[in-house]
Chains A and B, each alone.
Chain A
Amino acid sequence: DAKTTQPPSMDCAEGRAANLPCNHSTISGNEYVYWYRQIHSQGPQYIIHGLKNNETNEMASLIITEDRKSSTLILPHATLRDTAVYYCIVRVGPMDTGRRALTFGSGTRLQVQP
């Protein structure tokens, strides 16, 4: 699975958009970008994933650059409850490999300020 690089920490004002970058310059054509987050003392939680196109769900938007070497997770209106560690994970889809486990890096610690 491709390696990812994320800033160790970020701050965001409550109500503003939080833009969390992820660099994955060695990503392969069959690898997806997944985002999970971990709120303090809880298990990781799936947020969103994408392959090439931008994606949006009820939690966030995922913007993937055209060359797929980087992506940005956008929380459109951050709240205090969004304070968490956000993990960007790049890996092949489940149909391409038997390996199903996730490899977590250090992530970005997002602190939403009131």
Chain B
Amino acid sequence: DAGVIQSPRHEVTEMGQEVTLRCKPISGHDYLFWYRQTMMRGLELLIYFNNNVPIDDSGMPEDRFSAKMPNASFSTLKIQPSEPRDSAVYFCASSPGIVLASTDTQYFGPGTRLTVL
């Protein structure tokens, strides 16, 4: 298995532009997570999906951020309009749905490093 795939790996854009980050979870995983990592705030959850349905979006910073999961193999995180404070590394992770009572492993992608000028 190729693991969680994210694209692009690096994105540089100017303030006000729309940014779309993409994620392909591991095949067969029912859960998909979007995290953001900055020096100031560390790793924090933005949103997660179960079977393509958003379950918890309380971490989405504001209306400029939106996430979709149109099918089990693809998700997007969109920022419109982007601002310099959105600069961070964005990670996507997936997790199997059928779990043992004691297992809850998440598999992370390599991340997208976003720089908003």
Residues of A within 8 A of B (CB): 32, 34, 38, 41-46, 49, 51, 87, 91, 93-95, 98-106
Structural contact, A49 and B33, CB atoms closer than 8 A: no
**Contacts A43-B91, A44-B43: A100 and B109 contacting too (C-beta < 8 A)?**
no
Cβ 8 A contact of B101, one of A44, A45, A95, A106: A95
**Contacts A43-B110, A44-B43: A93 and B91 contacting too (C-beta < 8 A)?**
no
Which of chain B's residues 38-63 have a Cβ closer than 8 Å to chain A?
Answer: 42-45, 48, 50, 55-56, 59
Structural contact, A99 and B43, CB atoms closer than 8 A: no
Structural contact, B55 and A46, CB atoms closer than 8 A: no
Count B interface residues, CB 8 Å.
Answer: 27
- A to B CB contacts below 8 Å, 27 in the list: A42-B110, A42-B111, A43-B91, A43-B93, A43-B108, A43-B109, A43-B110, A43-B111, A44-B91, A44-B108, A45-B108, A94-B99, A94-B103, A94-B104, A95-B99, A99-B56, A100-B31, A100-B33, A100-B48, A100-B50, A100-B55, A100-B95, A101-B45, A101-B56, A103-B45, A105-B42, A106-B42
